[in-house]
Structure formats: C-alpha cells, structure tokens
Amino acid sequence: MANFTPKPQWLRKKIIPSAHQAMKELLGERSIHTICEEALCPNISECYRQKVATFMIMGTHCTRACSFCAVSRAKPALLDPSEPENVALAVLKLGLKHAVITSPTRDDLGDGGAEHFCKTVHAIKALDRSVVVEILIPDLQNNDDALRRAAKSGAEIIGHNLETVPRLYRIRKGAAYQSSLDVLQKLLSFNPSCATKSGIMLGLGEREEEVFRVMEDLLKVGCRFLSIGQYLSPSSRHEPVLEYVNPERFEMFRKAGMQMGFDYIKSSPYTRSSYMAHEYLEET
C-alpha cells in the first residue's frame, strides 16, 4: 500500500507542461523516447526547458518488473535500425556536449542490447567526436561479451545502478546485488580508461550503515562516480516511500563519500542518475 504522507517542502518541484512542448516536438520528429518521460522524472520541466534529456533507446517496454520503476513491463518491439542515427542527429540539433543514453532491460536480446548501445555511441561520435557520451546500462545478464562491447563502445562514462542496499534487493526483479557489483568491476577491467558510475535511492527503509557499505563496495570495484537521490513512488501499485530524507542527510552522505575516495558524488532529494550529468567530469 502506498505511503500518502504529504511531501515535505523540499520535494515540491513543479512540473510545467508548457516547458515540454518544444522539446517533445523536436524529439517526436524522429520518434525518440526519453527516460525523463517514461520514468516520470520530477526534473523533467527543468531539463526540458534547458533542452537537455536522457535518451531511451530500444523502446519503452522492459522485460523485468521492478517494483520501484515506472517503466512498463511488456513484450518489447523489434529494434529500430535507424534509432542510433536519429539519436545522434537529435544530440547535434540540441547542441549537447554531454549526451546520456539509457535503455530498458532487454532480456529478450542475446546481448541485452549491447550492440545497439555501441551503434548509438558510434553514430554520435561520427557527427561530433567532442561530445562526451555516457551510457547507463542494465546488467546485460552479466554476460562478459556484452559487457566488453559496452565497455569498448567509445563512451567516456558507463553507468550501472545498484539502486538500493542488499537487504532490499527484492525490489529489483531478476537482479542480484553481487552481480551488479560484478558488472561494474568487469566494465572497468575491460576498459580501464572509462569511468564507471552508479546510483542509489534513499527512502526505502535502508539504514545508514547499509548505505556506507554500498559506498565501500562500489569503491572496491573501482566505481568513482555516484548519484544519491530520493525514491518517489510512481503509483499506489509500486513500492511505497518509507521516509522522505532531508537535504542535510544527503549532504552528509556526499561529504562522507568524498572523504572515502569517490571522485564526484551528486547527492540531493532530486538527484537522479543522469541529472546534471555533465558535472561529474567537469568537477574532476
């Protein structure tokens, strides 16, 4: 049952539909999807107003059904061979200098979609090599060949989110905490020149010491970029929010994590995996 506790003042960012129209028209010209819309991101108006978006390739249907996620579970469509070029053209048209690409989990594909990620990165780089490309990948079923392809795609940053602490992994259908850590470790071993990144949510009932353990585990596998944000339940059918974590606690985790050895941490109630993504490299 959902938690209907009113949101605190610091979590009342407004969604302004009028700010979306120009962006939706631009992306709609090439049938491009964004995780901003599919995941009901609370930052959508802010980002769309600045003509920034996180592109979602390989459709909008996921083959898993995580209880925290707004992306729908259904039979995915066939891959669109024109999608990599369409995304690249959108990046060029928007004038992006840092492009973030993600996808739903595609367990129906032999490589989990790794090759399609590669094609999209290559298409962007073919139009403008100066664009920094960040890919946020599912676990690709921890397949070494698929992870090697993703690692060597040409993306400067490769993200894979742990999402929560080990005790609460029931919310990640088909995933395992150690397996996700292994994914991050393998990505770096396959391409030591890339940077790896992960993200976690707070407000699901995790304990402070559990969050610190996750941070320690990430550092052990070489992950130096981390996002920490507030979990917000997409609907009454999803996992409920157990706590609205105050901004001071987010800042505490950020400072502690930086002292532990992370290169950059974005930590605030509204932080999401790709929110202000350009800052991670710029600040380091």
The enclosing domain of 211 has a CATH number of 3.20.20.70
Domain range for residue 169? Answer: 14-282
Q: Is residue 9 in some structural domain?
A: no
Q: Is residue 183 in some structural domain?
A: yes
Per-residue model confidence as pLDDT tens digits over 232-250: 998 888 999 999 999 999 9
Q: Is residue 7 in some structural domain?
A: no
The values of phi and psi at residue 142, to 5°, are 55, 30
Residue 280 is classified by DSSP as H
Closest listed residue to residue 260, CA positions, set 214, 228, 229: 214
Q: Is residue 5 in some structural domain?
A: no
What is the percent of the chain where pLDDT is above 70? 98
Based on the structure, what is the number of domains in the chain?
Answer: 1
CB 184 within 8 A of CB 218: yes
What is the percent of the chain where pLDDT is above 90? 74
Class of residue 239 by CB neighbours under 10 A (exposed 0-12, middle 13-18, buried 19+): buried
Q: So what's the pLDDT on residue 234?
A: 85
Q: Is residue 133 in some structural domain?
A: yes
Per-residue model confidence as pLDDT tens digits over 161-190: 999 999 999 999 899 999 999 999 999 999
Q: Is residue 201 in some structural domain?
A: yes
Q: So what's the pLDDT on residue 2?
A: 45
Six-digit token pair at 154?
Answer: 């040409």
Q: What is the DSSP string of 215-263?
A: HHHHHHTT--EEEEEE---SSTTSPPP-----HHHHHHHHHHHHHHT-S
Q: Is residue 132 in some structural domain?
A: yes
The residue ranking higher by pLDDT, 29 or 111, is 111
Q: Is residue 35 in some structural domain?
A: yes
Residue 160 pLDDT > 80, yes or no?
A: yes
Write down the mean pLDDT value for the chain.
Answer: 93
Q: So what's the pLDDT on residue 223?
A: 98
Closest listed residue to residue 274, CA positions, set 96, 135, 154: 135
Per-residue model confidence as pLDDT tens digits over 207-226: 999 999 999 999 999 999 99
